[in-house]
Amino acid sequence: MNVKNIYSLGAIVLVVALLWFFGSVNRTNPKTTSNLPKSDLASPLVAGENLFFDFGNISMGAGNVSHVFKIVNTNKTAIVVSKIYTSCMCTVATLVTKAGRAGPFGMPGHATIASINQSIAPGEEASVEAVFDPAAHGPSGTGRVRRIIYLETDAQKEPFELSFEANVTP
């Protein structure tokens, strides 16, 4: 066996080893579960239907659009939602529980983000009403947008995230 064949064989072994390694990393990645928040896979809150909603094409001139996210406390104890806020001033969110409505709340710096301390009992369903104003950014605010609603709770380190997308047209 000459030196050229040894280098070729070594290169092939290296490529196969890298493919095996990276393939096994991707197969064991637990964050591929679509109905769990990206921020905390052990979250006791789950979205009843989905964490994401797509409005599709919406016109600035047609006015605000809204979507209701259903969430469920899968914990064995009550969860206290302390704050809700959004990623952009064009979006507001309201939490609706058996105790009543809290909100609407918007983006920090553009709206007051008060402590709400709404409790969700074990197994209880609540909802988060999202309202998006496609005209909030003016004529230059067209195209694909993604907005996030954050819920801070006493049960997880990172905020629970709900999100939506829309393709804003004039």
| pLDDT value for 40 | 40
The Cβ-side half-sphere exposure at 12, using a 13 Å CA radius, reads: 6
Instruction: List pLDDT tens digits, range 90-108.
Output: 999 999 999 899 999 999 9
User: What is the pTM (predicted TM-score) of this model?
Assistant: 0.72
Residue 128 vs residues 5, 55, 68, 72: alpha-carbon distances, Å: 64, 16, 6, 11
| pLDDT value for 115 | 85
The CB density around residue 124, as the number of other CB atoms within 10 Å, is 14
